[in-house]
Structure 1
C-alpha cells in the first residue's frame, strides 16, 4: 500500500513537472512571436533625390557639381539652371528664384541645385522641395585666398594692382576699396559672402556665433575640401548613394607652376584679413569629424576611402590618355578645354581613343569642364530654348 502511494506521488510530480515545462515553452514561444512582431523590418535606405548644394568658390566645388550633374542624369532629375545665356544664378547679387530657367512654370519641382549663387534661403525654398538636403563645402582660408588671388588676379580690383599675394597681404587696405564691393568679393571672406552674409562685417564673437548657428540650422552638412575623399564617403553614406555616384576626377585644378607660395607671415595675415572665414572653417572642420563619428568609425571610413580611390584609379586607367590632368594647350578635344581665368593655368584631360560608346559616355561626363556640362544640361533640359554660347558637343 505504501509503495502504491509513493508511486502515485512520483507520477503526480512527473505530470506537474511536464505541465510546467509545457507552460514555459508556451510562454517562450509567445514572447518570441511578440518580439518578432515588434522587431522593425530592415529596409534599405532610399537615395536622396532632392539636393541643394551651395557652390562656394575655389573649394573643389566644380568637382562636386560634376558629381551632382552625373547623378541627375542617372536618375533623370531636373536641375535648377541659370536663365538664358547666364552661367551663374545671379551671383554676386543675392539669389532670386527668377534667376532659374523656367522657374515660373516648373516652380518648386527642381531636384538639384548647384550652380554658383549667393545664398538666400527664402528664395531658394521657392525653387527646391521642402525635403531638400542642403550642403556646402569649405576650404582652409589660407590656401583658398592664394587660389582666389591667382584665379581672380585680373578680375578683382584689390588684386589687380599688387605684384603678388605676399605683397598684397603686407598692406591689404592699400589695395582693397570698400566702394568696389561687388568686384572684390573674392578678396575678403569669400565663403562668408557666398553663404549670404556681409564679408566686410567687423569681427564680433557674438555676431560670428549667431551666423554659425544660422548656417547649422539651414545646412545639413558641411564638407571640407582638405578631406575631399572623406567628404565624399560621408556624403555618399548620408544620402544613401552608391560609390560610383561620388567617384570623381579633379576638375578646375591648377598647374603647380601657377601656385604662389605664401610665406609664414602671409599665412598668419590671411587668418586675420579673413577672420570671418577662418572662424567659419575651424568650426565646421571640427563638426565634420563629429558627423563622421556619428555614422561610422574611422576604420570603416578609410576602408570606404580606399574603395573610392581604387575605383577612381580604375576609371583613370580606363578613360585617360595621360596618367593625370594636363595643361590646357595639350588637350586635343576643344570641347574638353576648361575655362582659363586670371594667372591660373587650369588643367584638363585627354580621353583614350577607341572607347566603346558606353565607356566613352562615362569618361566624357567625368572629364567635361563645368561650363560645357552646364550648357549640355541646359540644352538637354530645355531643348526648345536657344543654347548657351558654349561649345559642348
Structure 2
C-alpha cells in the first residue's frame, strides 16, 4: 500500500533524552542538495516532540515552486516551526519576504539555513535535475548558455542554485550584492556549512538548546556512488565560472561560520563534536540494520522518493526493537515525503490531497 495512510506512524517518538525546555520557533530555509534533508529530519523530530505547529503548504509538499513565497500561502497565524520549501521547492527571500515571514512568525523566531561547497552542490543539483539539459555534465559546461534560459521557471536551479534559493537576483547581482549579503546575514542567526556538518550541528544545538541525542542523525537523500560525477580540475574551473554567485555566497558565509566557531571556542567545539559523533554512532548501531540500501529492497514507509536520473538510497531499521524504540528509529531514517505526510495528518487530521476542484 503506497497511499499516504501508510505513512502514519504508530506511537510517540522514542524519548531518549531527559525532559528539556521547548525550543524557540524556528524558520529553516531548505536549500537544494546541501544536506538540508538531514537537517530537516532533525527539526521534524524536534518539532514533533514539542508538538509544534508546522507551517506546511496546504495539500502540497512545496510552496508555489518556483515562484516567490507569499504570506498568503500559509495564512496569517503564528507558527512554531516553518520549513520552506517543505519538499523540493525554490523559496526566494528577496522582494520583502523576510518582512512577510516576520508577520507570521513570533519575534523570537530563529532563522537557519545551510550551504554547501558550490562545486559539489552544482554537481549534485545537475544529477537530480537534468530533464531539460544534456545528461553529461561536461557537455553542458562546454556551452551552458545554449541550454540554460533564466526566464524559464524550470531552469531556476541551473545556475547558482543556492543563490536562487536564498532569493538573490542574479540579474541585479553586480549592483545589489552587498545589500543582498547584508540582508541575509541580518536574517539568519546560523548559516550551517555542509563541509563542517557536525560542527554546524553543535552550533545549532547551542542556538536551540538541543542535547546530543537530539542532534543525532543519519544522512538522508543520498545518491548511489555510481551516480556521483568525478570532477577534474577543468570541470571544477568551469563550474566555478558558471556559478560565480554561489562561490561568493559560500565564501562569505564560510568566513562568518569560522568566526562563530572561533567565538564558540575551538577546543570546546572539538570536544563536543567528539561527543556528538560517539552519541550518533551509538544511536545508529541501535537503530540501523543496513545503510545504503537500494529502493527496491525497502518497504514503502522508508523508501526515498526516486528521480528519473539517480538512485536514492535508504535505510533498514533493526528488528526486535521495543515499540518506543521502533517509533524513534523509524523517524530517524524516515524520508522527507513520508515524514511530511505523517506530520501533515497529525496537524490537520487529513491526508494531503490535490487541491479540490470546484
Listed as ranges, the gaps of 5+ residues in structure 1 are: 1-44
Match of 2:81 among 92, 100, 112: 112
Per the TM alignment, residue 343 of structure 1 is displaced from its structure 2 partner at its CA by: 1.4
CA contact (8 A) 1:248 1:366 kept: yes
**CA distance 1:387–1:171, change in 2 (3 Å):** closer
Instruction: Decide which moves more: 110-119 or 255-264.
Output: 110-119
Alignment of 1:1-393 (within 5 A): 48-84=23-59, 86-100=60-74, 103-104=75-76, 107-108=77-78, 110-116=79-85, 117-119=91-93, 120-154=97-131, 157=132, 159=133, 162-180=134-152, 182-199=153-170, 201=171, 203-204=173-174, 206-295=175-264, 297-322=265-290, 324-331=291-298, 333-383=299-349, 385-388=350-353
Per the TM alignment, residue 386 of structure 1 is displaced from its structure 2 partner at its CA by: 4.0
Deviations 1:313-348 (A, max 9, x none): 1111111122x23211222x2111000114121111
Deviations 1:176-222 (A, max 9, x none): 12331x110111111111112223x2652x52222111111111111
CA contact (8 A) 1:59 1:144 kept: yes
Q: Corresponding residue for 1:32? A: none
Distance of 2:110 and 2:151 partners within structure 1: 36
Distance of 1:386 and 1:114 partners within structure 2: 19
SS at match of 1:169: helix
Distance of 2:314 and 2:156 partners within structure 1: 27
Distance of 1:179 and 1:115 partners within structure 2: 23
Distance of 1:298 and 1:178 partners within structure 2: 42
CA contact (8 A) 1:150 1:342 kept: no
Q: Select the structure that is richer in helix.
A: 1
Per the TM alignment, residue 148 of structure 1 is displaced from its structure 2 partner at its CA by: 0.5
Q: Corresponding residue for 2:9? A: none
**CA distance 1:388–1:349, change in 2 (3 Å):** farther
Distance of 2:319 and 2:22 partners within structure 1: 34
Distance of 1:146 and 1:88 partners within structure 2: 23
What do you get for the CA RMSD once the two structures are aligned? 1.7
Deviations 1:145-178 (A, max 9, x none): 0000111112xx2x2xx24111111111111123
What TM-score do the two structures reach when normalised by structure 2? 0.87
What TM-score do the two structures reach when normalised by structure 1? 0.80
Deviations 1:207-250 (A, max 9, x none): 22221111111111111011111100111012222112211111
Distance of 1:47 and 1:224 partners within structure 2: 25
Deviations 1:283-312 (A, max 9, x none): 1011101011212x2221111111111111
Distance of 1:264 and 1:300 partners within structure 2: 36
Distance of 1:113 and 1:91 partners within structure 2: 16
CA contact (8 A) 1:255 1:346 kept: yes
Per the TM alignment, residue 141 of structure 1 is displaced from its structure 2 partner at its CA by: 1.0
CA contact (8 A) 1:91 1:118 kept: no
Listed as ranges, the gaps of 5+ residues in structure 2 are: 1-19, 86-90
SS at match of 2:213: helix
CA contact (8 A) 2:58 2:352 kept: no
The number of residues matched between the two structures is 327
